[in-house]
Amino acid sequence: MQLGLPELNTKSEKIYSSPLPMPLLTVQNLQQHFPVRGGLLRRSVASCKAVDGVSFSLGAGETLGLVGESGCGKTTLGKSIVRLLKPTSGKIEFDGQDITTASMGELRPMRRHVQMIFQDPAESLNPRHTVRDILEEPFIVQKMGTKDERRKWVLDLLDKVGLPASAMDRFPFEFSGGQRQRIGIARAIALKPKLIVCDEPVSALDVSVQSQVLNLLLDLQRDMGLSYLFIAHGLSVVKHMSDRVAVMYLGKIVELAPAEELYHHPRHAYTKALLDAIPVPDPAKRRKRELLQGDVPSPINPPAGCAFGHRMKHPQWQASVGMDLTLKEVSPGHWVQPCPCCTQ
Amino acid sequence: MNAPILQVENLITAFDTDAGRMTAVDGISFEVPRGKTLGIVGESGCGKSVTAFSITRLLPQPHGQILGGSIRFEGRDLASLPVEEMQRIRGNDISMIFQEPMTALNPVQTVGKQLAEAILLHTKCNKADVLARSIDMMKKVRIPAPEQRLNEYPHQLSGGMRQRVMIAMALINTPKLLIADEPTTALDVTVQAQILELIADLQQEMGMSVILITHDLGVIAEVCDEVAVMYAGRIVEQASVFDLFANPRHAYTQGLLESIPRLDSKPKTLLKAIPGNVPGIADFKSGCRFAERSGRAHTEAHLTTRPPMTEIALGHLVENCPVCVK
């Protein structure tokens, strides 16, 4: 597997297309809205547009990073893709198959290939199950192997994620945070998936343990040819893990580019603000920064036009209302929301 | 050179549990220079918050106790001060900001009432004065429409606004020392930058000293003057921020600095990781506590004898384990 950036296909025709020839996952204009209920009859009085028209694709063996502040919809997007949620509209195509509206039964074979790693391993592992129960379950659900075979597979998995065989008969609470996340990762790779959605996989871990888990994810990707959708709010971590990075703001992707390109030549004002806010672990590089004012607005009744221009009270914001804000390619593989307020 | 505002010497704090006495802070010494910011950095369970709670004497009672050492603040030893006198200092001369503003604020009282309480506990003044001071402080922490916000409840505010209210409460009596325990950990990176700048601005304006506790080396590098690195209940290294980042001497500090992904590192390359896990309090050794994760061979003597704190360069202290410090 190639580890560096894949070569860019400059003649890419498909919008936001992955630089790799055959995308594993294609998401088109995905919307995930939640009703906000109120009043006596708990009628739907508004809708929370958590994901509001997102398109991208992801190639085999590729990592797409997804960053944004809390409430921007990145976790919801991850959950829609693994179909823990039923999208409101749009299209999700995995491995050439439309899974947008597939039923639970229809999804079962697909679930082998799409897995998820959650932020808090303490909450995503059943506390009453031993590690063996947890890691065996995917095989049982998929009706694979005999009892002895499954036991062997569980041992293999533990070995792969760097846990001792003795971990098998212990319970999640007996492990530290980093080890628990390793169990979560073992469960995700059990069925040899093609795509793993990693939702803030290291945010809950100690600093010295984070790098171990990141290294494990990189190793597994190289060995198994995995694709990752890597969701995190820490931009340095996302940049380190990704081939391409998408920046999300209030339910929409505002910029998508190869990782290095995004960090060196950010085009959207929000990307610039996010980059500028990262504390740099080097006191020699202290700087006076342009601080972003205000908080992330609510996705319930978001402003028309460019939501970030609205937050910044940009004089040109009004011009973005009613404009087509579909991402435009400004340089090979670098896509930006073309609003007059945030991208010159 | 002014005398430091706070001098902690050989502080030992322990908790009595069913499994016996657990020493969370094991003989640490440091000073906070007047008007400066001391950063305490460490991972979960290293004792950084317990240090803060020891200084403010907010240890959970009766399990948590200061077993030894002194905490000298303006000529008095806080470690042995009677509770009533400590109450006069806390919230007045020494204030604290906590990690999670939603749990630190009272959900059933308005912001105004909570601010007023902080004022009235330490000064006698009339209603109009309280209101004027509250509004003034709300403006200082840059909360828009302060008059209106005073009548609101914490749940009506965003995370960043809540943390501003916490800061307003902490600073309303113009403390000499502010202890901020992970003040931005629960916040988004853009809001974190706002809050850190706010604390730095107010520090300048009010001339106070700050202890900033965090696990984030980026935050340390941005705002601190001095840094103490804690590991497993002890300080392993202490220096000026420039010294520490340019010339880390302890294997733990070096490992920590090398393991964080940086914006200028090459994507998808393996990071230098520290092997193993942060030790639990029950597994603390008497000698070098970083030994088993250091990847370097320690002798029996290194594991049983506590390495001495040594000043290896001017103002640069390190827990001088001959194996971990080269």
Reported as a single tens digit per residue, the pLDDT across A24-68 is 999 999 999 999 888 888 888 888 999 999 999 999 999 999 999
Above 90 in pLDDT, residue B5?
yes
Could you tell me if B246 lies within 8 Å of chain A, comparing CB atoms? yes
Write out chain A residues lying below 8 Å of B273, CB-based.
208, 211-212, 215
A337 CB-side CA count, 13 A:
29
Could you tell me if B189 lies within 8 Å of chain A, comparing CB atoms? yes
User: What is the structure's pLDDT at B8?
Assistant: 97
A286 vs A25 pLDDT, higher one:
A25
- Number of Cβ within 10 Å of residue A59's Cβ equals 20
Write out chain B residues lying below 8 Å of A234, CB-based.
189
Nearest to B268 among A3, A274, A296 (CB): A3
Under the banding of pLDDT at 50, 70 and 90, the label for residue A249 is: very high
Above 90 in pLDDT, residue B311?
yes
Query: What percent of chain A shows pLDDT beyond 90?
Result: 64
User: What is the structure's pLDDT at A5?
Assistant: 37
User: What is the structure's pLDDT at A12?
Assistant: 35
Query: Which pair of structure tokens corresponds to residue B12?
Result: 């030992």
Nearest to B267 among A260, A282, A285 (CB): A260
CB contact under 8 A, A278 and B261: no
Could you tell me if B263 lies within 8 Å of chain A, comparing CB atoms? yes
Q: Among all chains, which residue has been given the structure tokens 């001339």?
A: B207
Above 50 in pLDDT, residue A2?
no
A226, A193 Cβ separation under 8 angstroms: yes
User: What is the structure's pLDDT at B144?
Assistant: 87
User: What is the structure's pLDDT at A20?
Assistant: 55
A281, B221 Cβ separation under 8 angstroms: yes
Mean pLDDT of chain A: 88
Above 90 in pLDDT, residue B247?
yes
Above 60 in pLDDT, residue B109?
yes
Above 80 in pLDDT, residue A21?
no
Above 50 in pLDDT, residue A192?
yes
CB contact under 8 A, A295 and B161: yes
Above 50 in pLDDT, residue A14?
no
Q: Which DSSP state fits A340?
A: T
CB contact under 8 A, B268 and A240: yes
The minimum CA-CA distance between B68 and chain A, rounded to whole Å, is 29
Above 80 in pLDDT, residue A3?
no
B102 vs B78 pLDDT, higher one:
B78
List the strands of the sheet with B94-97, edge to edge.
B94-97, B177-181, B209-214, B37-41, B226-231, B234-240, B316-319, B309-313
Q: Three-state SS for A68? A: coil
B75 burial (CB, 10 Å; 0-12 / 13-18 / 19+) is exposed
Closest C-alpha to A274, from B71, B221, B193, B56: B193
User: What is the structure's pLDDT at B182?
Assistant: 92
Mean pLDDT of chain B: 93
Separation between Cα atoms, residue B55 and residue B73, nearest integer Å: 9
Above 50 in pLDDT, residue A1?
no
Could you tell me if A190 lies within 8 Å of chain B, comparing CB atoms? no
User: What is the structure's pLDDT at A10?
Assistant: 36
CB contact under 8 A, A284 and B267: no
CB contact under 8 A, A284 and B219: no
Q: Three-state SS for A199? A: strand
Separation between Cα atoms, residue B207 and residue B197, nearest integer Å: 15
User: What is the structure's pLDDT at A317?
Assistant: 87
Q: What is the pLDDT of residues A80-132, one digit of tens each?
A: 999 999 999 999 999 999 999 999 899 998 999 999 999 888 889 999 999 99
B53, B30 Cβ separation under 8 angstroms: no
Residue/partner pairs of B270-276 with CB below 8 Å, 24 or more apart? B270/A215, B270/A218, B270/A219, B271/A211, B271/A214, B271/A215, B271/A240, B272/A211, B273/A208, B273/A211, B273/A212, B273/A215, B274/A208, B274/A209, B274/A211, B274/A212, B275/A212
Query: Which pair of structure tokens corresponds to residue B185?
Result: 């950990």
Could you tell me if B10 lies within 8 Å of chain A, comparing CB atoms? no
B93 burial (CB, 10 Å; 0-12 / 13-18 / 19+) is middle
Q: Which of B225, B243, B258, B263 to mutate to test the interface with A (most CBs of A within 10 A)?
A: B263
Q: What is the pLDDT of residues A292-334, one digit of tens each?
A: 777 777 788 888 888 898 888 888 888 888 888 889 999 999 9
Above 50 in pLDDT, residue B266?
yes
B314 CB-side CA count, 13 A:
0
User: What is the structure's pLDDT at B1?
Assistant: 53
Chain A: residue whose CA lies nearest to B253 = A208
B90, B118 Cβ separation under 8 angstroms: no
Could you tell me if B218 lies within 8 Å of chain A, comparing CB atoms? yes
Closest C-alpha to B37, from B270, B259, B201, B167: B201
User: What is the structure's pLDDT at A6?
Assistant: 39
Average pLDDT rounded to a whole number, residues B135-142: 92
- Number of Cβ within 10 Å of residue B242's Cβ equals 15
Closest C-alpha to B27, from B56, B68, B55, B63: B68
A287 vs A202 pLDDT, higher one:
A202
Write out chain B residues lying below 8 Å of A239, CB-based.
261, 263, 267
Q: Which structural domains are found in chain A, ordered by start?
A: 1-60+70-108+246-303+314-344 (3.40.50.300)
Average pLDDT rounded to a whole number, residues A130-158: 95
User: What is the structure's pLDDT at A46?
Assistant: 84
A313 burial (CB, 10 Å; 0-12 / 13-18 / 19+) is exposed
Write out chain A residues lying below 8 Å of B262, CB-based.
236, 240, 280-281
Average pLDDT rounded to a whole number, residues A139-144: 93
| CB-defined contacts A:B, below 8 A | 151
Average pLDDT rounded to a whole number, residues B157-163: 88
Enter the pTM of the model: 0.89
Above 80 in pLDDT, residue A154?
yes
Write out chain A residues lying below 8 Å of B193, CB-based.
276-277, 279, 289, 291-292
- Apex B216 CA angle, B212 and B219, nearest 5: 60
